């Protein structure tokens, strides 16, 4: 399994600031006086990896921008950078830790490198309903994980959004049982838990940044990939894929995040506006994602993908085959205490009607 260096974020940030005299290093943000009326404007760069059009993440980022700019009467200025314009998700995360990028909306792809406990939500088949996922993420357990993330990385989580349930696609054969994955090169995020899931099912995990996946599929350096329906459509992965298996192996959240020093440097009024804007982001992002997932399934059918829905028995075979990930990643990387707490919270949430 790939090992990632854990970066002492603040030390690294300090070293870079000394070396480069980069602007905004100390506060993690960038402030400038506008020339027209001399009023101070605080600039926020908000980065993500999703497409600039037809994807829920940019729609939600625009809703956040609109709210905070209006509410702050222009004191906060938000510029969105979709489509990995400021780098792949790993670079975006590093930028947020350093403060050269103030905000991002990121999936769990690059996070385990600096915060392995986040992989508790990357364990296979942990959630089976979206409702339970919302309840756990928005409840005390979700807050505890964001608090741990802030302490370990210097990045504050503002709200949980939704990338969604991840499913396998490939260009070789329908996947109906784990043995159908044998020998398939499946691109995963650079996330050890996702790699371990593919391996446990018999596939060959191939970690790769998100912005290289389309080309990888086209050039057949990979046979398949796994993502929520919304991204399979908005990234046009279906153009090079024939088979889709709706197994939902991971419910993948997005985190709207901000450099914590930058956040702490804001006045109380502006902090409140950012917090409120984050809840608007969450609502819009989840609503739009739901629309795109529903429309996505129709689109993929229309594009001629062969879609496999697993029976309960077939699904159990995938769950059983991937159980080892709860040991290797769950117990060893996340730690038993947090693992047990999350599993209990999920069971409670799923038992509610």
Q: Which residues bind ligand EAX (CB under 6 A)?
A: 49-50, 89, 107, 109, 163, 189, 210, 227, 231
Q: For residue 259, what are the β-bridge partners? A: 155
Nearer to ligand EAX, 67 or 210 (CB): 210
For residue 89, the minimal CB distance to ligand EAX (Å) is: 5
For residue 158, the minimal CB distance to ligand EAX (Å) is: 17
Nearer to ligand EAX, 227 or 282 (CB): 227
For residue 183, the minimal CB distance to ligand EAX (Å) is: 21
Q: Are 176 and 277 in contact (CB under 8 A)?
A: no
The CA distance from 263 to 271, in Å, is 7
Of 315, 339, 313, 341, give the one whose Cα is nearest residue 326. 339
For residue 114, the minimal CB distance to ligand EAX (Å) is: 15
Nearer to ligand EAX, 49 or 145 (CB): 49
How many other C-beta atoms lie within 10 A of the C-beta of residue 324? 15
Nearer to ligand EAX, 189 or 325 (CB): 189
Nearer to ligand EAX, 24 or 112 (CB): 112
What are phi and psi for residue 265, nearest 5 degrees? Answer: -80, -10
3-state secondary structure of 10: helix
For residue 15, the minimal CB distance to ligand EAX (Å) is: 28
- Quickly list DSSP for 120-161: GGGSTT--S-HHHHHHHHHSHHHHHHHHHHHHHHSEEEEEEE
Nearer to ligand EAX, 27 or 191 (CB): 191
The CA distance from 192 to 250, in Å, is 13
Q: For residue 187, what are the β-bridge partners? A: 206, 225
For residue 191, the minimal CB distance to ligand EAX (Å) is: 8
């Amino acid at each position: 399994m790939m090992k990632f260096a854990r970066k002492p974020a603040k030390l690294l940030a300090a070293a870079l600031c000394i070396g480069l005299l980069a602007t905004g290093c100390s506060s993690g943000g960038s402030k400038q006086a506008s020339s027209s009326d001399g009023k101070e404007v605080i600039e926020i760069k908000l980065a993500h990896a999703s497409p600039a059009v037809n994807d829920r993440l940019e729609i939600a980022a625009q809703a956040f921008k609109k709210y905070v700019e209006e509410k702050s009467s222009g004191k906060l200025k938000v510029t969105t950078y979709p489509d990995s314009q400021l780098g792949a998700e790993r670079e975006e995360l590093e930028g947020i830790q350093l403060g050269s990028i103030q905000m991002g909306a990121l999936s769990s792809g690059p996070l385990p490198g600096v915060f392995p406990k986040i992989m508790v939500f990357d364990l296979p088949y942990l959630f089976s309903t979206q409702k339970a996922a919302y309840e756990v993420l928005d409840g005390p357990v979700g807050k505890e994980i964001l608090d741990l993330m802030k302490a370990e990385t210097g990045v504050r989580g503002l709200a949980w959004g939704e990338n969604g349930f991840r499913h396998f696609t490939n260009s070789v054969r329908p996947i109906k049982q784990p043995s159908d994955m044998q020998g398939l090169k499946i691109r995963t995020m650079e996330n050890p838990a996702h790699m371990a899931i593919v391996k446990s099912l018999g596939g060959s995990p191939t970690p790769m940044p998100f912005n290289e996946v389309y080309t990888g599929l086209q050039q057949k350096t990979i046979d398949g990939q796994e993502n929520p329906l919304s991204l399979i459509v908005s990234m046009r992965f279906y153009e090079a894929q024939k088979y889709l298996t709706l197994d939902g192996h991971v419910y993948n959240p997005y985190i709207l995040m901000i450099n914590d020093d930058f956040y702490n440097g804001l006045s109380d009024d502006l902090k409140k506006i950012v917090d409120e804007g984050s809840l608007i982001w969450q609502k819009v992002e989840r609503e739009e994602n739901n629309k795109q997932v529903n429309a996505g399934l129709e689109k993929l059918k229309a594009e001629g993908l062969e879609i496999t829905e697993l029976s309960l028995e077939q699904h159990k075979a995938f769950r059983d085959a991937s159980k080892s990930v709860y040991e290797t990643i769950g117990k060893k990387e996340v730690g038993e205490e947090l693992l047990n707490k999350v599993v209990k919270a999920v069971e409670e949430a799923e038992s509610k009607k």
